[in-house]
């Protein structure tokens, strides 16, 4: 196996992957907060994790992959303040908080499938690991890393000397720089909630547990005083990833992924909690994907440019076109999403599939090409280069068609573009069918002007007509 070099945010350099257990890579990826439909930015993060995983499998490693589902505790106001995103989602939709969580989790998993993202080995839910989270909170308390305020149990970052190392901020900056702003009972601005009591704005938090981890959601609400007294509440967001990561992958594991937005707070906090609890290094390599932006800016609901996979499909794009698009840009570079770029990715994917599907049965892959492809991936997942290697092979006239097919099939194990997928048939409605027949008659009668006019009319309706020796072929117009 060649050296696999991956960029570690913690050391700011590419490092050789050297799995803790030989032949096995253990990966944790921060998953979705299931309070709304996941958007294509989230999917950039999940596609990146998928390429990482498939690449390691391509190199012969067994991968144990955990992706959590955040279904409680992620507060609107970052880590400590504001309503729980799930509770807010429930209020807006009129559904129960459980319905909201499971509904969006289903949607997320459906979308993963459509993007051909391999299923994680484990998809643990935060709500199903409350005991593990409380155990860690109790360990941290016993070791003197926590303190209690009127609304919860907090982690004191000043007790953890390495706090801020991942994002390159010194602990002094994090504490002193922010001290002026500390308005609540926190000792330091960067301190974060491990456990929130059902008091104040969270007094009626639906999902809640007692301090032994027993679910008391279906019991009558107690007074705020009683909730505080009995420590009835729910976990802060960060603790779930430490507790579940360790449960499924061990106290130290190989790789942790997430978007760059998680570097300064969420992952800093994961490190602080985990390493304080175990006294061991939590993760060997921290990997982060850059953001997906839309038309040069941030995606947001208010700007109306927060797209879901469903939005792409409604415009006639297949999900794998988006997968192809993300492969064109290195995961550590910003990707600016435009419809034009998605169109270009769609036709490139269609062309690659057309070439692949005209090839006869597969022989064996071309070893030199497989090596080149592997080297691109082993260089911090250079997917753009890997795709370029695939195109070189597709266009190479000097290798046998069978070998070409086998080589491309091998590449597709990582690219996941379903090169063997047949083009989707376009379903026409009655009036579109009529126009198409009219056009065929016009062409037979050599009425070119009329046939062109009918082509334009069909284009207006989203149908593209191509004339071939076999007659008219229709495609959905993008």
Look at residue 129 and give the partner it binds from Zn ion, ligand AMP, none, a contact being a CB closer than 5 to 8 Å depending on partner kind: none
Q: Which among 28-36, 284-292, 412-420, 442-450 is the span making contact with Zn ion, rule CB under 5 A? A: 28-36
Q: What is the 3-state secondary structure (H, E, C) of 431-464?
A: HHHHHHHHHHHHHHCCCHHHHHHHHHHHHHCCEE
Looking at the Cβ atoms of 69 and 394, the one nearer to Zn ion is: 69
Tokens of 175: 């504490």
Stretch that binds Zn ion, among 1-9, 25-33, 44-52, 106-114 (CB under 5 A): 25-33
**Residue 79 C-beta: closest distance to Zn ion, Å:** 12
Q: How far is the CB of 137 from ligand AMP (least distance, A)?
A: 21
In angstroms, the Cα distances linking 285 to 3, 170, 219, 245, 319 are: 15, 20, 43, 14, 30
Minimum gap (Å) between residue 288 Cβ and Zn ion: 12
Of 96-104, 148-156, 210-218, 255-263, the window that binds ligand AMP (rule: CB under 6 A) is 255-263
Q: Which of 134, 140, 175, 241 binds Zn ion (CB under 5 A)?
A: 241
**Does residue number 69 form part of the binding site for ligand AMP (CB under 6 A)?**
no
Q: Which is nearer to Zn ion, 235 or 319 (CB)?
A: 235
CA distance 441 to 447: 9
Q: Which of 291, 313, 328, 339 binds ligand AMP (CB under 6 A)?
A: 291
| 212-229 burial code (b ≥16 CB/10 A, e <16) | eeeebeeeebbebeebbe
Total residues interacting with Zn ion, rule: CB under 5 A: 2
Stretch that binds Zn ion, among 169-177, 217-225, 240-248, 305-313 (CB under 5 A): 240-248
> Tokens at residue 159, please?
């007790």
Q: How far is the CB of 125 from Zn ion (least distance, A)?
A: 13
89 touches ligand AMP (CB under 6 A) = no
Phi, psi of 78 (to 5 degrees): 60, -130
- The DSSP symbol for 155 reads E
Distance of alpha carbon 116 from its chain centroid, rounded?
12
| SS3 state at 292 | strand
Who's near 217: CB < 8 A, 6+ residues apart?
206, 207, 208, 209
292 is a contact residue toward ligand AMP (CB under 6 A): yes
Binders of ligand AMP in range 257-286 (CB under 6 A): 258-259, 261-262
């Amino acid at each position: 196996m060649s050296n696999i070099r991956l960029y570690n945010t913690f050391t700011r350099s590419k490092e050789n992957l050297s799995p803790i257990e030989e032949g096995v890579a253990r990966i944790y990826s921060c998953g979705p907060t299931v309070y709304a439909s996941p958007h294509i930015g989230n999917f950039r993060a999940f596609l990146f994790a998928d390429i990482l995983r498939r690449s390691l499998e391509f190199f012969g490693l067994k991968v144990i992959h955990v992706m959590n589902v955040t279904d409680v505790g992620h507060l609107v106001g970052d880590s400590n303040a504001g309503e729980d995103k799930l509770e807010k989602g429930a209020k807006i939709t009129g559904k129960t908080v459980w319905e909201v969580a499971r509904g969006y989790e289903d949607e997320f998993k459906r979308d993963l499938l459509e993007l051909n993202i391999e299923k994680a080995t484990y998809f643990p839910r935060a709500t199903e690991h409350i005991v593990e989270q409380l155990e860690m909170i109790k360990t941290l308390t016993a070791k003197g890393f926590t303190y209690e305020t009127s609304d919860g149990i907090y982690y004191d970052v000043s007790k953890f000397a390495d706090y801020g190392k991942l994002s390159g901020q010194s602990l002094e900056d994090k504490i002193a720089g922010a001290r002026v702003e500390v308005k609540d009972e926190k000792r330091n601005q960067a301190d974060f909630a491990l456990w929130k009591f059902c008091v104040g704005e969270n007094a009626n938090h639906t999902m809640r547990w007692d301090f032994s981890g027993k679910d008391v959601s279906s019991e009558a609400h107690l007074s705020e005083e009683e909730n505080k007294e009995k420590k009835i509440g729910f976990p802060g967001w960060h603790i779930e990833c430490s507790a579940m990561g360790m449960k499924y992958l061990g106290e130290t594991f190989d790789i942790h992924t997430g978007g760059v937005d998680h570097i300064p707070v969420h992952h800093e906090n994961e490190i602080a909690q985990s390493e304080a609890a175990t006294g061991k290094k939590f993760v060997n390599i921290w990997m982060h994907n850059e953001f997906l932006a839309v038309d040069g800016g941030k995606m947001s609901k208010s700007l109306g440019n927060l797209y879901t996979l469903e939005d792409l499909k409604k415009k006639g794009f297949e999900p794998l076109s988006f997968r192809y698009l993300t492969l064109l840009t290195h995961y550590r570079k910003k990707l600016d999403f435009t419809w034009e770029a998605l169109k270009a990715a769609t036709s490139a994917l269609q062309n690659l599939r057309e070439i692949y599907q005209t090839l006869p049965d597969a022989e064996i892959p071309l070893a030199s090409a497989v090596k080149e492809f592997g080297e691109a991936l082993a260089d911090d997942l250079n997917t753009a280069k890997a795709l370029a290697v695939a195109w070189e092979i597709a266009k190479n006239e000097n290798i046998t068609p069978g070998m070409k097919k086998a080589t491309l099939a091998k590449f597709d194990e990582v690219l996941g573009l379903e090169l063997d997928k047949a083009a989707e048939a376009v379903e026409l409605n009655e009036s579109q069918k009529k126009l198409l027949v009219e056009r065929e008659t016009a062409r037979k009668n050599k009425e070119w002007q009329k046939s062109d006019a009918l082509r334009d009319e069909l284009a207006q309706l989203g149908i593209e007509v191509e004339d071939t020796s076999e007659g008219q072929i229709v495609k959905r117009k993008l």
